[in-house]
């Protein structure tokens, strides 16, 4: 698992400051330790308590320290930070930083730090395009600061134009890119399936399940961050798919089978987090089936995609999930062997607080060599990282987990 990297989030006085709470939370989901500094004006838009509660860390505020407190918080606060993100960044803070002005706690803290700085501006379009602001931005770029956005769109003042703070996910992904947190999957092709099934019965009805797609998307995003070339094969999704990951929709088992098979030969890894429909209607009616007192629906078995891929593979690492309600670990172990996977991630889907739809999961990870890992309940993102740690180890031959599989190179 990634170690806790410290990042300072500097929040200045813009209406976009409310989005900084989401930025803080997303960065924490990435196992970063987030330390928020605020200007006096930022506190007019959002309270320090929000950030303290979210991050669990002390918030650096304006004003001089009280007697007995740390006398030099602008120095100690940013010590050890791997990066400072200013989001939202007003014209004022951009001007101060570009011109070496340190007249409050936040600007003094910025001046005292030698950590890389990323700036996400947020202001009215005319302000953003003012020659002095543009000059300050150019100065900061020359000094090595990175800029994220701004985006063009409807601004808080009602005007439309350039100056809107960049979308939270783009800010977070650029922070992660800049931090370069171990790109150990660089150049690897990873195919990830996510989401549930939609097996049609007629043009109106379908057979489905409760998978939201969160687990698979978390793995796909973590793999992309670690440098992998990721393709997401998405079944029925309850969450948006990441814009920066190639996604192919395949809501039925037959479509998913076709899509996975097409890309499998060229992949290094297949992770099947999708809850594939085990059955489909024997025949799909072309018109809506009329109401009737009772109805016997005839189902046929869908192909077992993961078992078929395991039979076809040569170099690929194949990781499956097991959605269980009873004897989870034992059933998962049997599934691993029966389907001939390299690794299985077992989760208990009878619990409401994990599994289907939740942001959290508690899993048992079992490899072919019999090694069993039981991480505590944690976010699906963190579980994704643990799974990828194992995969990265297998790819570099660090684990002896693959030796038992017949027909491997």
**Which of 62, 258 has the CB closer to ligand PMT?**
258
272 binding ligand PMT? (CB under 6 A): yes
Does 381 sit near ligand PMT (CB under 6 A)?
no
Give the range of 154-162, 180-188, 243-251, 351-359 binding ligand PMT by CB under 6 A: 351-359
Assess whether the previous peptide bond of 88 is cis (omega < 30° from 0).
yes
Beta bridge partner(s), residue 198 = 208
C-alpha distances in angstroms, 220 versus 143, 235, 241?
35, 14, 10
Quote the distance between the C-alpha of residue 181 and its chain's center.
Answer: 14
Beta-carbon contacts of 141 under 8 Å, excluding residues fewer than 6 positions away, are 147
Strand partners, 33: 6
**Backbone φ, ψ for residue 272 (5° rounding):** -100, 90
Hey, what long-range contacts does 370-378 have (CB within 8 A, 24 or more apart)?
Answer: 371/399, 371/401, 372/329, 377/353
- Of the residues 322, 343, 387, 392, which one makes contact with ligand PMT according to CB under 6 A: 322
Q: Total binding residues for ligand PMT by CB under 6 A?
A: 26
Smallest distance from ligand PMT to CB 295, Å: 24
Q: Closer to ligand PMT at the Cβ: 118 or 215?
A: 215
We find the least distance from the C-beta atom of residue 246 to ligand PMT, in angstroms, to be 19
Q: Which of 15, 157, 207, 239 is catalytic?
A: 157
Single out the residue of 356, 378, 387, 402 in contact with ligand PMT (rule: CB under 6 A): 356
Nearest to 269 by CA among 234, 303, 241, 310: 310
- Contact with ligand PMT (CB under 6 A) among 304, 329, 360, 375: 304
Stretch that binds ligand PMT, among 5-13, 33-41, 85-93, 317-325 (CB under 6 A): 317-325
How many Å separate Cα 224 from the centre of its chain? 9
Cβ atoms of residues 346 and 324 within 8 Å:
yes
10 binds ligand PMT (CB under 6 A): no
> Measured from the CB atom, is 109 or 253 closer to ligand PMT?
253
Task: Enter the DSSP assignment of 12.
Answer: -
Q: Residues 146, 208, 357, 375: which binds ligand PMT (CB under 6 A)? A: 357
- Site string (213-232) toward ligand PMT, x via CB under 6 A: xxx-----------------
Residue with Cβ nearer ligand PMT (305 or 388):
305
Site membership for ligand PMT, residue 235 (CB under 6 A): no
Are the CB atoms for 59 and 37 separated by under 8 Å? yes
Candidate residues 276, 336, 392, 395; the one interacting with ligand PMT per rule CB under 6 A: 276
Beta carbon nearer to ligand PMT, 230 or 306: 306
In the chain, count H helices and then E strands: 13, 21
Angle at which helices 105-112 and 91-99 pack, to 10 degrees?
A: 40
Give catalytic status of residue 310 as yes or no.
no
∠ at Cα 346 (272, 181), nearest 5°? 65
Nearer of residues 238 and 371 to ligand PMT, judged by Cβ: 238
CA–CA distance from 269 to each of 218, 263, 302, 391 (Å)?
Answer: 16, 10, 23, 8
Q: Judged by CB under 6 A, which of 14, 39, 113, 302 binds ligand PMT?
A: 302
Closest CA to 305 of 349, 270, 344, 265: 270
Contact assessment for residue 279 and residue 298, using Cβ atoms and an 8 Å cutoff: no
3-state secondary structure of 361: strand
Position among 148, 306, 378, 391 found at the interface with ligand PMT (CB under 6 A)? 306
Based on the shown chain and the rule CB under 6 A, indicate whether residue 109 belongs to the binding site for ligand PMT: no
Q: Is 329 in the site for ligand PMT (CB under 6 A)?
A: no
Closest CB to ligand PMT among residues 95, 216? 216
- Interface residue with ligand PMT among 105, 323, 336, 343 (CB under 6 A) is 323
Please tell me the distance from the alpha carbon of residue 109 to that of residue 73, in angstroms, as a whole number.
Answer: 8
- From 32-40, 88-96, 241-249, 354-362, span contacting ligand PMT (CB under 6 A): 354-362
> Which of 106, 273, 388, 394 lies at the binding interface for ligand PMT (CB under 6 A)?
273
Cβ distance to ligand PMT smaller for residue 291 or 352? 352
Enzyme catalytic residues: 157
Residues interacting with ligand PMT, by CB under 6 A?
A: 211-215, 253, 272-276, 278, 302, 304-306, 320-323, 335, 347, 349, 355-357
């Amino acid at each position: 698992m990634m170690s806790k990297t410290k990042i300072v989030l500097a929040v200045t006085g813009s209406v976009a400051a409310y989005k900084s709470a989401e930025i803080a939370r997303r960065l924490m989901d990435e196992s970063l330790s987030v330390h928020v500094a605020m200007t006096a004006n930022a506190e007019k838009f959002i309270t320090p308590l929000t950030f303290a509660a979210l991050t669990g860390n002390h918030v650096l505020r304006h004003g001089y320290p009280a007697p007995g407190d740390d006398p030099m918080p602008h120095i100690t606060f940013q010590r050890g930070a791997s990066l400072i993100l200013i989001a939202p960044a007003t014209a004022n803070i951009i001007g101060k930083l570009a011109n070496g002005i340190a007249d409050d706690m936040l600007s003094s803290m910025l001046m005292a730090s030698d950590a890389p700085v990323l700036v996400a501006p947020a202001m009215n379009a005319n302000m953003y395009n003012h020659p002095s602001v543009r000059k300050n931005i150019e100065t900061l770029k020359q000094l090595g600061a990175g800029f994220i956005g701004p985006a063009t769109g409807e601004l808080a003042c009602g005007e439309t134009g350039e100056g809107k703070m960049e979308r939270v996910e783009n800010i977070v992904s650029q922070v992660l890119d800049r931090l370069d947190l171990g790109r150990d999957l660089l150049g690897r092709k990873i195919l990830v399936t996510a989401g549930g099934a939609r097996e049609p019965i007629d043009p109106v009805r379908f057979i489905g399940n409760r998978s939201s797609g969160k687990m698979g998307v978390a793995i796909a995003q973590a793999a992309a961050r670690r440098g992998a070339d990721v393709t997401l094969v998405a079944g029925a999704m309850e969450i948006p798919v990441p814009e920066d990951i190639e996604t192919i929709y395949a809501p039925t088992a037959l479509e998913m089978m076709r899509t996975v098979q097409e890309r499998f030969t060229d992949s290094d890894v297949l992770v099947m987090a999708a809850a594939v429909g085990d059955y489909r209607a024997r025949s799909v009616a072309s018109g809506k089936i009329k109401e009737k007192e009772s109805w016997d629906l005839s189902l046929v078995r869908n192909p077992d995609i993961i078992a078929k891929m395991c039979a076809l593979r040569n170099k690929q690492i194949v990781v499956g999930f097991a959605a269980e309600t009873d004897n989870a670990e034992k059933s998962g172990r049997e599934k691993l062997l029966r389907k001939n996977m390299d690794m299985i991630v077992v989760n208990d889907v009878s619990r409401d607080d994990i599994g289907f739809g939740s942001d959290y999961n508690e899993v048992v990870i079992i490899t072919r060599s019999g090694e069993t890992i039981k991480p505590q309940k944690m976010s699906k993102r963190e579980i994704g990282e643990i799974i990828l740690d194992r995969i990265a180890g297998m790819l570099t031959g660090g684990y002896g987990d693959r030796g038992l599989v017949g027909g491997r190179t």
